[in-house]
Amino acid sequence: MRYSTDLPDLRMLPAESLVPHEECDPRRVVRLSKRLQNEAILKNPPVVAAIPESKKYVVLDGANRALAFVNLQIPHIVAQLVSYQDSGVELDTWYHVVAGMKIADFESELTKITGLHLQDSSLESARSALKNHQVAAYIICDEGVRIVSNTNRSLKHDTRLLNGLVSAYRGKANIYRASNDIWEIQKPYYPDITALVIFPRLSPADILGAARSGEMIPTGITRHIIPHRALNINIPLDVLGSDWSQERKEDWLHDWLMERMAANAIRFYSESTFSFNE
């Protein structure tokens, strides 16, 4: 039930019905679990989309938060429901800046990945090959550009290959998100940069497929741009963790929303924003 077409669609959902589409960070889940316990509120809801013909929801943003609820055995969570079809959600890709790892160690770890084949390339050729799904990814470093060969052009195969690629530096280097593949732009911001890893652009069907199959996409590469994002809802964990029925919690959420509206406490900001405390 949607109470206003102008407001985010907030739903009370079973925490276990939220399914990630990408690998999660166990360390971050632990940190979020501790923070949730200390703050005793759900500040920002995960964003989810319904998985057709199921009672599950794929998490587009906030998977670590959702897993923290399962970890804490909190039965319900408030999530913002969106749709790829009619809510203006855009799917983009983050790239990885790998930093603080010696290039020799990075190269050594790459050689350990089963099925990983690298080939020297120009940047333009690598971009074209990735766009046309001829390669799985490409890597940029001081020595140049190398493509990660796509041996059978299968997304399932590439997903495993990309997870192997990320495992070569996850936990061994600092990982930062980047939105471009320009080495000269990234290097001044990250003096200890080791490499740039450029991933393919995925489709909504890829995201839903990953959630259905359990073939998780590497963490931190999908970027969902979500209009009318709900923030600072501050739902008490006492409510979400109570033994109330889901229907009773849904009624509570409805009443809470009506109170927020009556108090004129809901604000919409259309400006593009930089946040410096995430």
Helix (H) or strand (E) holding 145: strand 144-149
Flag whether the pTM goes above 0.85: no
d(CA 107, CA 265): 53
Q: Let me know whether 117 and 191 are in one domain.
A: yes
Question: What is the average pLDDT across 189-201?
Answer: 94
Q: What letter represents residue 271's amino acid?
A: E
pLDDT for the residue 3: 42
Same domain flag for 62 and 112: no
Burial degree of 80 (CB within 10 A; 0-12, 13-18, 19+): buried
Gap between the Cα atoms of 255 and 180, Å rounded: 44
Same domain? 48 vs 125:
no
pLDDT tens string 76-87? 999 999 998 877
**Average pLDDT score over the chain:** 90
Over the stretch 132-146, which tens digit does the pLDDT of each residue have? 888 989 999 999 999
Decide if 270 is inside a domain.
no
Number of domains in the chain: 2
Tell me: do 30 and 70 sit in the same domain.
Answer: yes
43-76 per-position pLDDT tens digit: 999 999 999 989 999 999 999 999 999 999 999 9
pLDDT score at 151: 59
The CATH number of residue 26's host domain is 3.90.1530.10
Domain that holds residue 111: 95-198
